[in-house]
Structure 1
Amino acid sequence: MSREIIPLHIMSAFQAEPPELDFVIPGFLAGTVGSLYAPGGVGKSFLALEIAASVAGVDLLGLGHHHTGRTLYIALEDPEIVLRRRLYAIGSHLSSQQRELFAEKVEVLPMLGVPFDLQDGQHADWLTERAEGIRLIIVDTLSRSHSGDESNNGEMANLLRVLERIGANTGAAILFLHHVNKSSGRERNGDQFAIRGASALLDNARFGAAITYVEDDDAAAGVRIRYAVSKNNYAAPIPHRYFLRHEGGVLLPAPQEQDEETGESPKEQRMGQRRNHKPKALPSLLNPFGSPYLAAKNGETHAW
C-alpha cells in the first residue's frame, strides 16, 4: 500500500470535537471524488472552468463562501484553440485583478491526443506528483482518461479507487466530467441514474451534479441551464441553481423563483405535469451560442 493505515483512536473521537468539513464547492468535500455529468454540448466544460475560477476566488457562478486554492484542469477532449476561446470569453467578465488571480491559481493542461490512462500506475503517479498543493483536480472527460470498459462495474470501481487514492494522498478533490446515457440525454434527465456506464461511477463517488437545458416558453429569455446536485453525502440538500448562457458560452446566474421544498421553478413544475410527452428538441433560437449537438443537427456552426 502507498500509505500506512493507522487505526482510528475511538476514545479521542468521542472526546475531541472534530474540525468543520472542508468543502471545495457546496457539497463537494476536499479529498473526495465527484462527478459533473450532462448531455453533450450543454456546457459542462465551461461550467468546470468557472468552478475552477470559483475555487480560485473568482465566483462568477454565485456558489457562495468557501475556502480557495489552486486547480489543475486536465483537458483531454478539446484542442488548445477551443480552450483559449473559452478562457477569452470568461476573461471578458473579469476585472484585471480577477484575471491575475485566475491565472495564478488555475493551471490548464491541453492534453488532447496525449496518451493518458489512470489505470496505468505511472500516469496515476504523475498526476499525484503534479497535484501537490492543488485543491481541485478536474478531469475532462473521464472517458478519455482510461482504457477500461465503461459499462463494467468492477473496472469502473477500480478506476474510482485510483482517483480516491490520488485524492487521499494529495488532499485534492477530484471532479471528473462525464456524459449521460442516451435516454436521459433525450429527456434532459439529471437524476442519479442518468450518468452513462456502470453504476459504480456515481455509487462510488461522494458527490454528483448534473446540468441540463431547461425549456422556456419565452425564447427571449435565452438558454437556461439547471444545475442539480443529485448526490451529496456530507452536507444538507442543495437547491437547484439556474444559469443563463451568455456570449461565447459563459454561464452566469439566472434569477429564478423556486419552490422551497422541491427546488423547482414554476416552469419546471408545469413541465413535470407533461413528462409523459417526449420533449421536443430546443429550436436554434434558444441556442444562439451553439450546442455542438444541435448545431450539427441544424446544419449550423458553433463558436464554443
Structure 2
Amino acid sequence: MRPASVEAEIAVLGGVYIDTDAALQMFASLTRDHFTRESHRLLFDAMHLLVKSGTAVDQVTLAEVLKDRGDYETVGGISFLASLMDAVPTAANAGYHVGIVRDRAHQRKVAALAEQLAQSPGDPALLAALREVPDARIGAERFRLMTDTDIQSLPPMEWLWEGVLPENSLAALIGPPEQGKSLLSLGLCFSAQTGTPYLDRKVRGGNAVCVAAGEGVSGLGSRTRAWKAANHYAGNIGAHFLTEPVMLADPTEVRHFVAAIRTLSEPPALIVIDTLARCYAGDENSTQDMSAFVAGADRLRTETGAAVLIVHHTNATGERERGNTALRGACDVMMLARKEGELITVSCEKMKDAPHFPKMHLRLVRVADSVVVFTAERAPAVNPDELTEKQAEILALLRTHFLENGATASEWLKSSGVPERTFYDARTALVRKGYVNAPEQPKGGRYTLTERGEVFVTAGCGDTADILR
C-alpha cells in the first residue's frame, strides 16, 4: 500500500473552513496531486477557485461551486462537507498537517519510481527522475510574498515557558560540564508534557521529545523517577525520548527524524537536543559546519512547529558557548547555567523579541536515587537525612506491617492512623528523600522501602523516635 494519510488530508481541507491563513498555507505548499483521493482533489480545486476569487470558503459557497462543476455528489454531498468542520476543531496545527500530506506525496513518488526501476533496472530517465524527487516539492508555489499589512496581522509571540522560551523558537542552554543543564532541560520536557508550571513559571502543555544523546544517558531513568516522585506522578506521562544522536547537519537525518516525530498523535511543543556535541559531526569552530547544524535545527523547528532547545557546553572561560558564533546569531534565546556555591544560576544571555528574564537561582535537591531542580526559595530541606518524628514513624510502618510486599497508599494510610494531609505530606517527603520507592502504576501500586529506608529504620532498634533525639 502506498504511503498516505487520509486523516491529514481531511485536516488540511477542514482547516480552510476555519482560517484564511490555513487556506493560504495549503495553496502555497500543496497542489491537487498531493492528495490521494479524487474527492479530496475536487475539493481542493473548488476551494482554490473560491480563494482566488476572494470569496469566503464555507459550506454554502463550496457546495455551489461543486454543483456548478458537477462534482457535488462525487465528493459526498452535504454530509461530507459538514463532516469536514467536525473533523477539525482548530486550524492551529495546519502547518503540521500540510507537512504530513506533502511528505506522504513525496514518499509515494519515490515508491512509484522504485517500482518502475525494479522493472527497468538502470533506466537513465528513471534514475534521473529519482534524483530530482528530493527537490520536487521545492518550486515557485512554495513561496508566498506578504504585504506589510499581512505582517502587521501576524499573531503575537506566545510563550511555551512563560518569559523564558517562546513557542516555535530556537534556543540554547549553555554552561560548563556538571552544571545541571541536562536536569534543567529534562524538567522542562516533563513540565511541557504535563502542562505543569516549571520553576514558578507557567508552561504550555504539549508533546515533548528529548534527544538524550548526552553524557547523562545512563542516569536518565533515575532522573525520570525522581522528577515523577517530586511532582506526584506515576506511570507513563507521555514524553518521548531518543537515546541516539541525530546529526542535524545531515538533511537526510533530519528528514528521517521529522518523519518519526510525525507518527505522534499531536505535534510536539518542545524538542530538546542534548547535547550539541553528540549531534554534531563537523568542526565546532567552522562557520560552514555550525551553519549547517543550525539549518538542520531550524528545519526541525519549522517542520514540527516546536520550540527547539539545544544543550551545549561553554568554552574554557565558561562565559560563552564553545565553537562558532553562528549558533548565537541564529538563536532566539540563549541561557547560561553555572554553579555559584550551592546554587545554580541561570541567566539570560540573549532574548530576541522580549526583555531578558531576571536571573533564576536554583537548587538541586536529592529525590529518591537522583536529584531534582527547584527554585532556591521553594527548595525542600537540603539535608536528605532530616526526618520529622512523624515521617520516621510512618516510614517504620512499611517495615513493621508491609516488609514483604509493600503497601498501597490506602493500606499505608490506614495503618498510620494520622490525618490524610499529614500522611500524604510525609509520603511525599519520604519518596523525595530516598527512603521509599514510589510505585510505577498510579492506582493500586505498592510503596516499598529503599535500602536507605531499611538502614534508617533498622538502626533505631524498633523505636524510630529515638533516632531523632
What SS class does the counterpart of residue 73 from structure 1 fall into? strand
Name the counterpart of 2:186: 49
Query: Which has the larger displacement, 2-11 or 234-243?
Result: 2-11
Name the counterpart of 1:234: 353
Name the counterpart of 2:334: 208
Name the counterpart of 1:148: 282
What SS class does the counterpart of residue 92 from structure 1 fall into? helix
Cα deviation for residue 23 of structure 1 reads 1.9
Change (3 A) 1:28 1:5: farther
Name the counterpart of 1:130: 260
Instruction: Give the partner amino acid of 2:304.
Output: T
Change (3 A) 1:29 1:226: same
Whether the aligned pair in 1 keeps the contact of 2:275 and 2:310 (CA below 8 Å) is yes
Which residue of 324, 334, 343 maps to 1:224?
343
Cα deviation for residue 28 of structure 1 reads 2.3
1:157 to 2:276 alignment: no
1:24 to 2:165 alignment: no
Unmatched 5+ residue regions in structure 1? Answer: 216-222, 257-304
Query: Which has the larger displacement, 29-38 or 237-246?
Result: 29-38
What SS class does the counterpart of residue 104 from structure 1 fall into? coil
Report the TM-score, using the length of structure 2 for normalisation: 0.47
Name the counterpart of 1:109: 242
Whether the aligned pair in 1 keeps the contact of 2:226 and 2:372 (CA below 8 Å) is yes
Change (3 A) 1:20 1:11: closer
Instruction: Give the partner amino acid of 1:52.
Output: C
Report the TM-score, using the length of structure 1 for normalisation: 0.70
Change (3 A) 1:13 1:196: closer
Whether the aligned pair in 2 keeps the contact of 1:50 and 1:61 (CA below 8 Å) is no
Which whole-Å deviations, capped at 9, do the CAs of 1:147-181 have from their partners, x for residues lacking one?
11101122212210111112112111111110001
**Between structures 1 and 2, the one with greater helix share:** 2
Whether the aligned pair in 2 keeps the contact of 1:76 and 1:140 (CA below 8 Å) is yes
Instruction: Give the partner amino acid of 2:338.
Output: T
Q: Partners in 2 of 1:130 and 1:207 — Cα distance?
A: 26
Name the counterpart of 1:218: none
Instruction: Give the partner amino acid of 1:11.
Output: T
Which residue of 54, 61, 68 maps to 2:205?
68
Whether the aligned pair in 2 keeps the contact of 1:128 and 1:169 (CA below 8 Å) is yes
Name the counterpart of 2:145: 7
Cα deviation for residue 183 of structure 1 reads 1.7
Whether the aligned pair in 2 keeps the contact of 1:27 and 1:234 (CA below 8 Å) is no
Change (3 A) 1:235 1:105: farther
Q: Partners in 2 of 1:33 and 1:11 — Cα distance?
A: 26
Matches within 5 A, 1:290-301: none
Cα deviation for residue 21 of structure 1 reads 1.1
Name the counterpart of 2:363: 244
Q: Partners in 1 of 2:222 and 2:215 — Cα distance?
A: 11
Unmatched 5+ residue regions in structure 2? Answer: 1-134, 379-469
> What percent of counterpart residues are identical?
21
Q: Partners in 1 of 2:330 and 2:261 — Cα distance?
A: 22
Q: Partners in 2 of 1:31 and 1:65 — Cα distance?
A: 16
Whether the aligned pair in 1 keeps the contact of 2:182 and 2:216 (CA below 8 Å) is no
Change (3 A) 1:6 1:87: same
Change (3 A) 1:121 1:19: closer
Change (3 A) 1:180 1:85: same
Which residue of 207, 212, 230 maps to 1:93?
230
Change (3 A) 1:225 1:32: same
1:182 to 2:316 alignment: yes
Whether the aligned pair in 2 keeps the contact of 1:131 and 1:172 (CA below 8 Å) is no
The alignment's C-alpha RMSD in Å is: 2.0
What SS class does the counterpart of residue 292 from structure 2 fall into? helix
Change (3 A) 1:79 1:180: closer
Change (3 A) 1:13 1:110: closer
Name the counterpart of 2:3: none
